[in-house]
Amino acid sequence: MRQPHLLAMGLAAVLLASLGMLWPGDGHNEDRGLPRVADVGIAAAVPDELPEPVLYRVSLPGLQSDKPSPDPPPLKPPSPISAAGLRIWAYGDSTSWFATQEFVRLMGLEGATNVRGVAGTGADEVSRRGVGLTAGSVDIPAYVAAEMAAKDPDVVVLMFGANDAVGGFDQDTFRVSVGALMDQLQRTGRIVLWIGEPAMTRPDLVPQIEAMNALFEEEAAKREWVRFVDAYAVTLGRPLAADGVHPSAASGTLIAAEAIRVLFGN
């Protein structure tokens, strides 16, 4: 019956010994400004009124606590594993005709849906004449905005630039327009395939197209959701139309195949 009492006494002895080790009563505490055990009481440890807490702002390198955090950069959309169920929207100038039509056809065979809904019709062909980002008969940013809002495609395919290149173009102005359209097309999960212009042979357009394609590739590389399709490389030395500007049906098929390869990350 006396064992609990003895155990309690033993624990008390251990506790006092521990306190003695922490605060030895040899006067050294006073030298260090520390209290002795005898001076420490419960009342001193718990004051009647606790002070108001003081809030501190933490500042770390690269972190501005007084400014809102910037939006995180868009994540790179993953390559789809199949065409089935994809909603695709393709558009461009007259150089895109065979390429985008073949892209739509091949993707459709694998279960994709053409949400633009006018491929292969006369109205679609007419709408492509004279199309340009900074020159042409269609306000592309406004048209794209309306189409994206109404149809919300998963894959957007664009191919134009020849009409902008005719007579020369201001690269700085054109670059701003290209970048703005690429940004306008961004939405989570969407992939934009930006097809460059083919390897034209018309002398006045050759240097313009080469500079334009380089610009397209550079701007696409800045944006995770945009993938550049090098139509120039796949049509170099291949037959074009007699005007040396427009791809033939065979060259258009090559461009479409390259666009599909880029889409699926092969």
Q: Considering only 64-68, 72-76, 196-200, which range has the smallest mean pLDDT?
A: 64-68
143 and 34 in a single domain? The answer is no
What is the strand order of the sheet 87-92 is part of? 113-114, 87-92, 155-159, 191-195, 226-229
Task: Name the band, by pLDDT with cuts 50, 70 and 90, for residue 87.
Answer: very high
Q: Is residue 67 in a domain?
A: no
The residue type found at 77 is P
Number of domains in the chain: 2
In this predicted model, what pLDDT tens digit does every residue of 23-33 receive, in sequence order? 444 444 444 45
93 and 223 in a single domain? The answer is yes
Inter-residue contact 224 to 236 (CB < 8 Å): no
26 and 107 in a single domain? The answer is no
Q: Is residue 41 in a domain?
A: yes
DSSP state of 225: T
CATH code of 154's domain = 3.40.50.1110
112 and 230 in a single domain? The answer is yes
In this predicted model, what pLDDT tens digit does every residue of 115-169 receive, in sequence order? 987 644 444 554 566 788 887 778 899 999 999 999 999 999 999 999 999 878 8
The residue type found at 265 is G
pTM to 2 decimal places:
0.70
Its domain, for residue 247, covers 87-263
d(CA 92, CA 259): 14
Q: Is residue 71 in a domain?
A: no
26 and 99 in a single domain? The answer is no
106 and 172 in a single domain? The answer is yes
In this predicted model, what pLDDT tens digit does every residue of 239-252 receive, in sequence order? 889 999 999 999 99
